[in-house]
Amino acid sequence: MSSDLVMDTCLLAGSIILKNGGETYRTEETMALIAKAAGMDDVNSSATPTSIILSFRCSGLDHTRMVRTPKRTTNLNKITLVNDVSRQFVGGKINLEQAYRTLREIDQKKQIYPKWLQHLAAATASGSFSMLAGGDWGSLIPSAMAGLIVNLSQEYLEQFVRMKFFTEFSAALLGGLFALLTVTIFPQLHLSIIIIGAMLPLFPGIAITNSLRDLMAGDLVAGVSRGVEAMLTAVSVAVATAIILSFTR
């Protein structure tokens, strides 16, 4: 069995998991299981939120390679598909070539839900959350529209700016400005309730969850880095919200 193909398959599986919102310990375990099932010896894998390192011994020679994953998103469906491929290969149901081809197809697969549906879901979640936060029916539509603006702004700005803090801050600021404009036109609405709903698409839920899971799994570096990433998102939202609220004083 080609060591290069084993390396390519393992790194591809790991990078798909990591850049689509998976935990680092899951990334490491998946790569190690595939490499061991392929007959590699002395397998060692290491992952951080931005890089993957894999090494193993084949025919008396050591092989090591590293790949970076600077851009990450959330697509739990791809993680599930990679887990299925890993189980099938480890269980002997498919060979390494089939596993690699399937992983390539998974990596190139588009999102299950179209963009317009994702934006609609963000708007619905923002409007609904404003109701849960104590808002009335009058706050539903403004909160939904503000959440839609936040989600659209974040996606658009990410195409031009790689600094995540700036994109999230700008998106939160635009959503807050829309909320402020709405309250200026309709004074009976509550600005704080609309802002709470508008910021929901930026809530770093997966980052916080993965941080805690990595910490509990013993991956301290990955857990702390993901926790810092979630904290920076919270800070960007808080600063943008504070700026908006300062206009009401």
- 51-61 per-position pLDDT tens digit: 899 999 888 88
- 114-173 per-position pLDDT tens digit: 888 888 998 998 988 888 888 778 888 999 999 999 989 988 888 887 788 889 899 999
Question: 164-185 and 140-158 helices cross at what angle (nearest 10)?
Answer: 150
Mean pLDDT of 22-39: 90
Instruction: Return the closest-CA partner of residue 189 out of 170, 198, 174.
Output: 198
What are the start-end ranges of the H helices in 133-219? 140-158, 164-185, 191-198, 205-216
Please tell me the pTM assigned to this model.
0.79
